[in-house]
Amino acid sequence: MQGFNKYYPPDYDGEKHGSLNAYRGKHALGDRARKIDQGILIVRFELPFNIWCGTCNNHIGMGVRYNAEKKKIGNYYSTPIYSFRCKCHLCDGWFEIQTDPKNTRYVVTSGARQKDEEWDPEENGGFAIHDTDPNGGPVDPLAALEKSTDAQNHMNQVQIPRLEELQMLSDHYSVDPYMRSKKVRQRFRTEKKLDQARRAADDTLKSTYALPEELALTVESEDSRAEAHKHWEKERLALEVREKAKRRMVGRPPETAPTASSRPSLLHKKLSAGPPGSAISSLRARILENTARHASSSLGGIGPHRTKVLGNKDIVFRKT
């Protein structure tokens, strides 16, 4: 309960002092910030490698901890460079170690020397871990190609779908439901008005041409116009063919057989052929003509008649 049980003196004013540290005139970090006015902060620092002290020449192993003075001494692009100044626990000597962001390592700058325990991969047939030459090409082109291909696949399979999901989620939470509903209702009203106008035009067309009400009319478009014109051309050609055939049938003389009404005149000509002034011949021809006319009226003129004259006797045979 130490963090909650704080003593506030009677003369403490929150608006005036702000905090208990300001009231007592102390820093929030306590004694670690005794050199904060110089830009120095006391931190707990652990040696990253083995060193020999430059003052007492004693070996100090990796992992030994010191209360070091941490100070910012520069920048490598946007990365700060810090120095750690430590006092040797075996003597009164000081040594300083700095960060090296360019090579991602620590270096000893003064008061000690580092034990060289680094393994050089280039000397043993490997490749350099830290490429310090920005203008140098890749040592292994196949390895560089494989690395770029893996990066591209990772971007297409992992990063892009993830970004799309985040974008959809952001749109889902940031969208305004009222505006979406307004757009949908506005579009529905527009389509409804167009549908009503189209239905009114269809009803007017059906009533004008007396079309059935259940007939579904096609919406006029370029395709429907082309199809209608094609059908009209086809029907027009068919009508022209029929008209030409009808005119040919009207212009040709009819091939009809001689009727019974025309037979008596033929018979009269054949039977009246005799010596002129013969009263018997004229009488016989008149009788035969009357007989033929009577037969024709009784049969109604149906069917052809055959007439045959044999020798001196005139005999008429009729076959229906």
Per-residue confidence band for 76, with pLDDT thresholds at 50, 70 and 90: very high
37-59 pLDDT, tens digit per residue, is: 899 999 999 999 999 999 999 99
Work out the mean pLDDT of the chain and round it to a whole number. 79
pTM above 0.75, yes or no: no
Q: Which is more confidently placed, 165 or 3? A: 165
pLDDT at 297: 58
pLDDT at 177: 81
Q: Which is more confidently placed, 201 or 276? A: 201
Residues 279-290 have a mean pLDDT of 72
Residues 122-134 have a mean pLDDT of 64
Share of the chain above pLDDT 70, in %: 75
Q: Which is more confidently placed, 32 or 147? A: 32
Is the pLDDT confidence value at 275 over 60? no
pLDDT at 267: 47
pLDDT at 141: 73
Is the pLDDT confidence value at 68 over 90? yes
pLDDT at 117: 77
Per-residue confidence band for 97, with pLDDT thresholds at 50, 70 and 90: very high
Q: Which is more confidently placed, 104 or 6? A: 104
Secondary structure of the chain as H, E, C letters: CCCCCCCCCCCCCHHHHCCHHHHHCCCCCHHHHCCHHHCEEEEEEECCCCEEECCCCCEECCCCEEEEEEEEEEEECCEEEEEEEEECCCCCCEEEEEEECCCCEEEEEECEEECCCCCCCHHHCCCCCCCCCCCCCCCCHHHHHHHHHHHHHHHHHHHHHHHHHHHHHHHHHHCCHHHHHHHHHHHHHHHHHHHHHHHHHHHHHHHHCCCCCCCCCCCCCHHHHHHHHHHHHHHHHHHHHHHHHHHHHHHCCCCCCCCCCCHHHHHHHHHCCCCCCCHHHHHHHHHHHHHHHHHHHHHCCCCCCCCCCECCECCCCCCC
The residue extents of the domains of the chain are: 14-114, 141-175, 176-215, 218-246
